[in-house]
Structure 1
Amino acid sequence: MRHDSAITAFQQKRGGEAAAFFAPFLAPRMRLLDIGCGPGTITAALAEMVGIAIGVDIEPHPLAAARQIAAPSAATNLSFVEADMTALPFGDAAFDAVFFHAVLYHQGPAALTRTLAEARRVLKPGGMLGTRDADVGGNILYPELEGVRLALELWQRWYEHDDPDALRFGRRQSSILRAHGFTPVWAGASYVNHSADAASRAEAVADARRSLLGLGPQLLHKELATNEEIEAALAGWDAWGCNPDAIYFRCRCECVARKP
């Protein structure tokens, strides 16, 4: 995943929104672990709600961006650790809360089992787990231009899901967490609005173009797309962005569970 300055800035504006559903379950003295934190924008928002917030990610590049974000705030309760989410470098019952944002959706069955087992291990009995993840079946798009639909399909191809239900992961979070030893206590959904006004539509188009151009060579290399498809997808987003009535609401399903 790419974490250039423009993408990080976009995510930074969304950090508080992404964590809002978990806020009622947090308290000032809690220790929280944000697993798969990426550039740390959500971790920084969570740090304002708890006593200590630690973000972990296996990739050093986004962690460098995370530390740059944290530096100006001089927050003493915020830190980042390079680590594998399936082998966390923390003791048992070390945290009061664990958070996943747009992470579990990408896991195959074996990795998902290991990841949730580690989350359960480091969480205290009675501790809270918050998850927020994608569900493409809930996305709202208008107009449904062929090029934009193709772009969304190309991103789905990139993840190479073997399980057709994976694209609707979000709505199944409660049952998945229950199957892995957690007790769900709340479920909901929200939308990332990429079309509130002309500026946000332009930002969405620019972000889509960066993503498609960045993934393009890899999609071609893996024979997951053709040059013609990538060009059609780019043209579709350009046309979408020129429509003053265009909307794109991206669905995010949310779940809160407790460790028994």
Structure 2
Amino acid sequence: MDGMTKNTPLSQAMGNQHDYLPAAGRDSMLPFYDLLTRALGAGRVHSALLRQASLTPGDRVLEIGCGTGNLTIAAKNAQPGAEIVGTDPDPLALARAERKSKGRNGLRYERAYGQALPFPDGGFDHVLSAFMLHHLDPEVKEATAAEVFRVLRPGGQLHLVDIGGNLTAADGFSARRMLKNPHVAANLGDGIPSLLRKAGFDCEEVDSRVYPHVSRVTYFRATRPA
């Protein structure tokens, strides 16, 4: 539900002039973004993802597509002893995230695209991604997965949640709408694990739940082999 990495066709189709999709879809909607994501249950999803990650003191953690910083801040609250970095290509969303995080030590933001992360090889223990992947074009997805693999240390893990997995019409009205969304199609079935395994990860599905206003949400853990 947060800001997206570079995806020119989708962003322009929504009336943007950016080479990225803004956190709220359009710049004009940014003031309402946090209220909308809260109403859609993003907090519960973030909490579940952070329980999965089990961050420990001293961990170096990167979020890609952090938007206004909701998951990044939640990660810092969950583990104050971790070093957290949030990245997003949307400068307006990042400015809002900075204001919300003012005065927090061990928490910073950088403007970056997921397929061109400005970090050294093996620099992070965990990478977090929430509701970003389904917005990306196929070639950007592959490049982003490769970059995440590169910046994780051997044994490091990507914790990813997105719409997809075994999504069917029986999951409800929102699911039936999502099944008509071409950007979700590549996330269905084994789509996400296949993408991550191609990048070199060992990948497993951790959980899958239906959120009525969002659709089926599936959690994945992908480990860079030691």
Whether 1:179 and 2:144 are equivalent positions in the alignment is no
The aligned residue for residue 141 of structure 2 is: 112
CA RMSD of aligned residues (A): 2.8
Paired with 1:37 and 1:88, the residues of 2 have a C-alpha distance of 13
CA spacing shift, 1:130–1:91, aligned 2, 3 Å? same
Which of these residues, 94, 104, 109, is aligned with residue 75 of structure 1?
104
Q: What percentage of aligned pairs have identical amino acids?
A: 30
Q: Which portions of structure 1, spanning 4 or more consecutive aligned residues, are displaced by more than 6 angstroms?
A: none
The match for 2:34 is 8
1:1-260 matched pairs, under 5 angstroms: 1-2=25-26, 3-12=29-38, 14-15=42-43, 17-25=45-53, 26-50=55-79, 51-71=82-102, 74-135=103-164, 137-138=167-168, 140-141=171-172, 152=177, 156=181, 161=183, 165-166=185-186, 168-169=187-188, 172-194=191-213, 250-260=215-225
Amino acid at match of 1:95: F
- The structural deviation recorded for 1:68 is 2.3
SS in 1 for 2:200: coil
Inter-partner Cα distance in structure 2 for 1:170 and 1:66: 33
- The alignment's TM-score, normalised by the length of structure 2, stands at 0.73
Paired residues of 1:125 and 1:259 also in contact (CA < 8 A): yes
Q: Structure 1 pair 95/252, CA: closer, same or farther in 2 (3 Å)?
A: same
Asked which structure has the greater RCO (Cα within 8 Å, sep 6+), the reply is: 1
Q: Are the counterparts in 2 of residues 16 and 42 from structure 1 also a CA contact under 8 Å?
A: no
Shift of 1:38: 1.1
| Deviations, residues 186-230 of structure 1 (Å, cap 9, x unaligned) | 421123344xxxxxxxxxxxxxxxxxxxxxxxxxxxxxxxxxxxx
In 2 relative to 1, CA 171–251 (structure 1 residues): closer, same or farther, beyond 3 Å? Answer: farther
- Find the aligned partners of 1:104 and 1:178 in 2 and give their Cα distance: 15
What is the CA deviation profile of residues 59-97 of structure 1, one whole-angstrom value per residue up to 9, with x for unaligned ones? 1111122122222xx321221111121111111111100
Look up the SS of the partner of 1:48 in the other structure: helix
How far apart in 2 are the matches of 1:117 and 1:180?
Answer: 5
- 1:41–1:187: structure 2 CA closer, same or farther, 3 Å change rule? same
Q: State the TM-score, normalized to the length of structure 1.
A: 0.64
* 1:154, distance to aligned residue in structure 2 (A): 11
Q: Are the counterparts in 1 of residues 67 and 97 from structure 2 also a CA contact under 8 Å? A: yes
Larger radius of gyration: 1
Offset at residue 52 of structure 1 (A)? 1.1
